[in-house]
Amino acid sequence: MLIVKKTFSFISLFAMVILLSGCQSMSNYFDFGGRADAGGLRVPLQADVTKHEFDLSGDQALIGELAAVDTQERDTLPDIARHFGLGYNDITAANTTVSPWTPAANSRVLLPLQFILPDAPHKGIVLNVANMRMFYYPKKDPNKVYTYPVGIGRDGWNTPTGMTSVAVKTPNPDWHVPPSIHREHAAKGHYLPSVVRSGPDNPLGYYAMRLAIGSYLIHGTNKPFGIGMQISHGCIQMYPEDIEVLFKKVSVGTPVRVVHDPYLTAWHNNMLYLEANEPLEKWLLSKRQLKKQVIKELGKLAKQHHADVDWNKVDRVIDRADGIPTPILANSSDVAELSSKAVQLAHPTRLYGQPVVETLNDSDWAMLVASFNNENDAQKLAAMLNHQGPPIPARKVQNANTYQVVAGPFKNKKQANEAAGRIRFDFEIETKLLKPKLNLTRS
């Protein structure tokens, strides 16, 4: 049994674990009770907000709107992000004071669903790795854009920038494991087969589009809660529900442009906006030059529209790097005011894809994963296990003065041992098998 006495970085651990490896609006689906504003008045709640499909007019460069939702018990920010079409990077950067894995109930979560389009031709797929977001411009409908969060290559395996195209589309793809990944897993005592067939254990998900460059793919994933992270060996990963939609829309030959644009500008409704994202590690040494370039662009736009820029605010937006398009003219709204005016949404009855943990009975196989002195850390680890791909059902159990993480139920000893092997490989934790009628009672 592992007893953990110190808090450790679950965010870093979760990212490591992942890289190793569309809901409709319905009036009866939401609670429209309203939310009290600062004056105590009830503010009507909106059912939903546009997340993926946007109309464009003229040279429009800003789309979407900010929204907000209040958390409920057992929510996580990754659950909320997926439901509302955001990535892990989007929701955590916009909500730095909210615990990603254990947010307190009734915490207000800002949903940064407003985006500035990359400065690139509106043709085919444009992917901005800096904010891990894809934009698709359909050839047959030039006044439309679709946008989706993505996962990209981690440092050392960066998703390449430049022009390419969709070369091959494959539903239900098999994963032919590259030698480099074979070696990476073997170094930890985990041996992969040469080919992983289509199914829940396949990290490509159920749809893949091969690009006309190297062996890079745009594909789904069996670890959806890694979207919005640098998690892959260079491929572009999407939520399963998003790749399914895009796969049907995109044809072979569709152009794909990959850019790294951390600083984006837009003139919209007589206001100048700046969206700032932290440059990826590969480009960090160029951060000063990138900042000079965007300042030059802002000055050009301000002069063109006879507007005055608040340059101190520009510096603050760049330092904040939260991905929220922010007005930067003199006397314009700050991010706190923007947040306060965000559309307040009703919380869905259930967030899309949110794990449901089965009840653990005495007759089930289970395992003791770890014990903590800190309740919050136990809840974090349980949440992370529930968000594995495929999920490992887990819950927090109080036992005297410690908090234990118990995984299960499992159908049999073999399934329990397979889960134990995954936990050992991904988390470097040795578990203790709990035989039927010997496991702990769920609290």
Give dist(CA 158, CA 235) in Å, integer: 9
Give dist(CA 278, CA 158) in Å, integer: 16
| Closest C-alpha among 332, 321, 264, 329 to residue 294 | 264
Give dist(CA 291, CA 314) in Å, integer: 10
CATH number of the domain where residue 408 is located: 3.30.70.1070
Q: Which residues contact 128 (CB under 8 A, 6 or more apart)?
A: 118, 134, 135, 259, 260, 261, 264
> Is the same domain home to 186 and 318?
no
pTM: 0.88
Rounded to the nearest 5°, which phi and psi values hold at 91? -75, -30
Segments forming the whole domain that contains residue 280: 263-333
Give dist(CA 220, CA 354) in Å, integer: 17
Q: Let me know if residue 79 belongs to a domain.
A: no
Over the chain (443 residues), the average pLDDT of each successive run of 10 is 44 47 32 50 82 96 98 96 98 97 97 98 98 98 97 94 98 88 75 84 94 95 95 95 98 98 98 98 94 98 97 98 98 95 96 94 95 95 94 94 96 94 91 82 47
Say how many domains are in the chain.
3
Rounded to the nearest 5°, which phi and psi values hold at 381? -65, -40
- Tell me the C-alpha to C-alpha distance, in Å, between residue 193 and each of 183, 198, 202, 332: 12, 13, 11, 57
Dihedral sign computed on CA atoms, order 26, 29, 32, 35: negative
Q: Report the pLDDT value the prediction gives residue 34, as an integer from 0 to 100.
A: 53
Q: Report the pLDDT value the prediction gives residue 84, as an integer from 0 to 100.
A: 98
Q: Report the pLDDT value the prediction gives residue 122, as an integer from 0 to 100.
A: 97
Q: Which residues are catalytic?
A: 219, 235
Give dist(CA 274, CA 287) in Å, integer: 16
> Is the same domain home to 130 and 253?
yes
> Is the same domain home to 149 and 277?
no
Give dist(CA 232, CA 370) in Å, integer: 28
Give dist(CA 424, CA 433) in Å, integer: 13
Q: Let me know if residue 101 belongs to a domain.
A: no
> Is the same domain home to 243 and 276?
no
Give dist(CA 364, CA 218) in Å, integer: 39
> Is the same domain home to 202 and 133?
yes
Helices 287-304, 311-320: inter-axial angle, 10-degree rounding: 140
